[in-house]
Each structure stands twice: as C-alpha cells, then as structure tokens.
Structure 1
Amino acid sequence: MLHARTSPAAKRATLRERLSTAEQPLRLPGAFNPLSAKLIEEAGFEGVYVSGAVLSADLGLPDIGLTTQTEVALRAGHVARMTELPTIVDADTGFGEPMNVARTVQVLEDNGLAGCHIEDQVNPKRCGHLAGKETVDTATAVKRIRAAVDARRDGNFLIIARTDVRAAEGLASTVARARALVDAGADMVFPEAMADLTEFEAVARSVDVPVLANMTEFGRSALFTVRQLGEAGVRLVIYPVTLLRLAMGVAERALGVLAVQGTQADLVPEMQTRARLYDLVDYVAYNAFDDQIFTYRPDTPEG
C-alpha cells in the first residue's frame, strides 16, 4: 500500500546480485506509468525500465533532450516507488556538465532508482535509432561517467555508460569507447543501435562488465530473443517503448470506434475491468487501513 515494501537499497543490491548470478539476461520492460510497473512485476520480470523517449512522448514532446532533470527524476521516482523490482532510468546526457551529472545521480538515488544510463551524445541528444546523431569526444564522455561514479553514495547504484558512436564511426570505435568508459568506472555498457548479434558479442568480449541490449521496435537492431542475446554475451535487456506503443495503438483504435458508433459498448470486452484495477492498486488494503486505523476510536471507560 502507498509504496513498495522493499527499500531502494535492497532493490539495488538485488539487481547487482542477479546480474552476476542469473542464467539468462535480466528483462526490463519499459513502464509508462506506475500502474504499468505493477503489471511488469506481476508478470514475473526482473526489473523495470523508464525510457526517456516514453517520458518525452507522455509530455507530448519529441525525444530530443527537452525533458528536464526534475521531470525525469520525479516521474521515474513515481514508477520506482510502486514496485518491489529495481528500476533503471534513462538519464540522457546527465542534463548538463559533469557537476550536473553528479547531481543527477544523487537526485535519482534519493528518488529510489536502482541505476541510470548516461550517454555520450552531444546535448541536446536525439533518439538513439535516428540518423543525425552527434557524439562528444572520448574525454568528455569519460568525464560524465567519472562524475556519475564519484557522486553516488550507494555503491550498488548502477552506472550504465551508453555509447552512440556505432552509427557514425562503426564497431571498432564502439569497442574502443566502451573500454574507455569501463576504465572510467562504468558498471555496465550500453552500446546503442547494434547491427546484429555479432556486434553485441564483440562488445561483450571486449569489456569485463555486463552489456545491455536495447530491443526497441522500429529501430536499427532486429528484435532478438532473450536466448539469442544471452548467447551473444548480453546480461540485461530493455524493452523501452513496447507497452506505450501497444497502449496508444489500442487507444487510437478505440477512439475511432467510439467516434463512429457513438458508444463504447463494443470495446468493453477489451478493457481492464474495474475489479482488476482495484486488485492492481490494492484497494482492499486501503479500505482496511480506513476501517482499522483512520476511523478507529479507542474504548473509554465511563465516568
């Protein structure tokens, strides 16, 4: 009720332990709100992801670095507080210079996140699977990661270094950049927009930290299975926009039906029921609190 019972520190420790012991890559679907994070947990996944593209879209904005640190930290914190699972968030370029990156990490820690990824694009950034991306030089990328690592107070908070150099400079530069970011202290490497499994495998062989794969629809990477990615050396997989795309697709079709038919009657069988919603938000627990505590009146002796 209200918040998850598992502390942020415990969630971070769990994520670290699972990364080193799990037999297959950890799977983190993207939540588009706190309620969808509850669904991810109930479905048996190992963690929750909060996508910068989803946060931008939810605000009606393109994913070009327009969201602020405050917006991202607040909305990601709302998701993290409602699930017992560890939650990782997209922190873009860290929202400024190295000192801003450091502050971003500490704010995300305070808001209950288990980790974040910080990328090496020029600010303002672009969606990782679109053309026209520009990346900073290695020295600047390294400074961002060092600032993030030095700023965290919980050693289990995961610092993930994302690199976008593949699109412009190729695989060799991706491998070199990944190694430099690991030397700077990154706990995990996120090579964006890999062309195929052999490229994931090449990055995984080149570093001694876990590798993250982004399985986003309509992107430059094929939608590989968890098993395929695991065999290529990947340790964590994100599905950043899957749930939002599905939800928006259904909503758009439903509005068309409502507009044409003048009633939502034919749509009801596709809807989540009121009973299921109440179950998901644990309505019973809130009623129990109200009955047993809020409205409780102690017996007083007469006299």
Structure 2
Amino acid sequence: MSHECGAFLRRTLQPSAALLLPGVSNALAARIAEEAGYAAVFVTGAGIANSYLGAPDIGLTTVTEVGAHINAIREAVSIPIIADADTGFGNALNVMRTVRLFERAGANCIMLEDQTFPKRCGHFEGKAVVSIEEMTAKIKAAVDARANADTLIMARTDSRAIEGFERSLERIRTYRDAGADVLFVEAPSSLEELARIPREAPGVQVCNMVIGGKTPLLPQAQLSELGYAGVIYANAALQAAMFAMKNVLEHLRSHGSIEGREDQIMSFAERQKMVNFARYDALAKQCAND
C-alpha cells in the first residue's frame, strides 16, 4: 500500500495542483482527515511536540518517537503520508537512518530542513541555518538512502528570516539540483514573495499556511494560479481541537455540565465512526467464528 501511495503522490503533487495537505499529529487526526476526503496528510513535527509532549516545537522529539507516530498513522489510513523529519536528527549519516526508518514506517515523502539542531518552529524567532554545502550533503544522503524510488524527498529552507529572501531562492534552487523532489521555502512574508518562489525556483513547490504566522493566508485557487503543487495547513486541525477542548473544559469546570456546549462535541456515534469501530467489530466477530 505504501508503494502505491508514493506513486500516487508523485503523480499528483505537480505544479499548480495546490493539493491541500492537512497537518496531523496522530492517527486519530489522520483518520478524520481521510474521512473528510483529503488525498494525503502531512505529519507535523510541531503537532507531535505539542500533542505528545505538551511542549513547543523546539527540537525535543526523537527520531524513534516520530517514527512510531508515522507507523501508527500508516496503520490507520490508506492515503499518502508526508512526514516532517525536522533536520534529519543529525548529520548526513543520521539522515540516512531517518529516511530508512520513516520509509519503513510508511512515509511516502520525507521533509528535511536546513536549520541547525535543535531546530525551532519555522515562524519562531531565533533560528539558524547550516551551510548550503551541509544541507546539500544531507539531501544527497536522503536520496541515496531511500529504498523506493517513489519516496519523495522534500527540501525546506528556513533561511528567509536569517539570510534574506534572495538567498532563500538560491538555496532552494541548489537543493533542487542536489536531487530534492519537492521544494519548500518556509515563512515568505508577502504576496510578492509567494508569487516569486515558483516563478524563480521552478519545480514542485509547496507552501505552508500558518494561522497567526508570518506568511499571508491565500486561498487554494490563488496558490494554484501562482504555481504551487501543495498547500500545507500544518496545524489548523490541532489548533481547532485545542480551542474546542479549552472551551468545553472551561465551561464544564465553571458550570458543572456541558449544557450549552453540545454543538462543540462530536456525537458518540460519529466518534466511533472516526475510529473505525465497525471494522474492528467485524474483525472480532470473524476471529470468534474461525
């Protein structure tokens, strides 16, 4: 299944497709995204740090922790998985291990960024980037390490906030020439910059729509016109879930019941649908009858 997903993603993620890629931080979120009709999901490193550790996106998660989340998500859904590998969790040799681990776990596209370790959220201040040469070596190591030719390697640069926009274009073009299949300039700060990226660094470009971040939030149709292949909403679902949990729990604490907040709570039946209860129930009955 994972091989088929990789081939589908390679065919689908093309310039101007503007494929919507919802961020998921666990298998439940991935199931909800698949049920909603999305063609692929983006496993968000920030979301895993937030939901699994209750911590910010500052490089605290380990390669095996993220790999375990990818594996659980692959067990839960049949659509392609794009996985956030942060900086690759070390040097070029670490990148090779990361790619192999994530690929075995079920990732069909693996994103590597050029920040120093420990990394920070792309829309935080205080970031730093490695040299172009070091990142190029990591990309080449990732390409060499993949077992399936349809596993995509995504190269992300965080250099916009540190070295300026022109340098970020130079970096992403270099990463493309080093073998990256998908390109990603993090945190452009204007419509003009968003428009220039696909035009001046041709390739399979994705962008990240961060709610409350530094990049203007543009609709899918406009990003398609600009030439983007994919549009990541890395933490929209998580932020919505956090908002709902906070509201419902504060209301319960102050009122002693959920009355008045019922419209913010999924029904019991819908909840069971999201966790595929009918499938597991059928499997249990089948096992009992064998």
Q: TM-score, normalised by structure 1?
A: 0.91
Structure with bigger RCO (C-alpha 8 Å, 6+ apart) = 2
Match of 1:28 in 2: 21
Structure 1 position 71, deviation (Å): 0.7
**Residues in 1 aligned to 2:91 and 2:247: alpha-carbon distance in whole angstroms:** 43
Shift of 1:23: 5.8
Deviations 1:97-142 (A, max 9, x none): 1000011001010001111110111111111111111111110111
SS of the aligned residue for 1:175 comes to: helix
State whether structure 2 residue 10 is matched by structure 1 residue 16.
yes
Whole-Å separation in 2 of the counterparts to 1:116 and 1:222: 25
Corresponding residue of 1:300: none
Aligned positions of 1:213-292 closer than 5 A: 213-291=207-285
Gaps of 5+ in 2: none
Give the conservation status (yes or no) of the 8 Å contact 2:16–2:229: no
Contact 2:25 2:45 in 1 (8 A): no
1:39 pairs with 2:32: yes
- SS of 2:82's equivalent in the other structure is strand
Matched residues in 2 for 1:53 and 1:288: separation? Answer: 35
Q: Secondary structure at the match of 2:29?
A: helix
Instruction: State the secondary structure of the residue aligned to 2:249.
Output: helix
TM-score after normalising by structure 2? 0.95
Map 1:176-195; keep pairs closer than 5 Å: 176-195=170-189
Question: 1:289, CA displacement in angstroms?
Answer: 2.3
Match of 1:129 in 2: 123
Amino acid of the structure 1 residue aligned with 2:28: L
Q: Which residue of 2 aligns with 1:202?
A: 196
Is 1:167 aligned to residue 161 of structure 2? yes
Match of 1:56 in 2: 49
Count of residue pairs the alignment pairs up: 289
Which one-letter code corresponds to 2:22 in the other structure? P
Residue by residue, what CA displacement relative to the aligned partner does 1:222-242 show, whole Å, maximum 9, x if unpaired?
Answer: 111111111111110110111
Question: How many angstroms does 1:15 deviate by?
Answer: 0.5
Q: Which residue in 2 is equivalent to 1:151?
A: 145
Alpha carbon RMSD of aligned pairs, Å?
A: 1.5
- C-alpha separation between the residues in 2 aligned to 1:165 and 1:195? 12
- Return the offset for 1:262: 1.3
Cα separation, 2, equivalents of 1:288 and 1:117: 37
Is 1:197–1:232's contact at 8 Å kept on the other side of the alignment? no
Q: What is the CA–CA distance in structure 1 between the aligned matches of 2:54 and 2:197, rounded to whole Å?
A: 35
Give per-residue Cα distances to partners, 1:192-240, cap 9 Å, x unaligned.
0011232233221233420010001111101111111111111101101
SS in 1 for 2:289: coil
User: CA separation in 2, counterparts of 1:142 and 1:98?
Assistant: 9
Letter in 2 for 1:296: N
SS of the equivalent of 1:94 reads coil
Report SS of the residue matched to 2:180: coil
- Conservation of the 8 A alpha-carbon contact between 2:83 and 2:109: yes
Matched residue, 1:3: none
Aligned match of 1:301 = none
Classify the secondary structure of the residue corresponding to 1:266.
Answer: coil
Q: What code does the residue aligned with 2:4 have?
A: A
2:217 aligned counterpart, secondary structure: coil
Report the equivalent of 1:106.
100
Is there any run of 5+ residues in structure 1 with no aligned partner, and where?
1-6, 298-303
2:79 corresponds to which of 75, 85, 98: 85
Q: Which amino acid aligns with 2:35?
A: E
Look up the match of 1:4.
none
Q: Structure 1 residues 139, 34: CA separation in 2 closer, same or farther (over 3 Å shift)? A: same
Runs of 4+ in 1 over 4 A off after TM superposition: none
Alpha carbons of structure 1 residues 164 and 269: separation in structure 2 relative to 1, 3 Å: closer
Q: Distance in 2 between matches of 1:45 and 1:23?
A: 17
One-letter amino acid of the structure 1 residue matched with residue 38 of structure 2: F
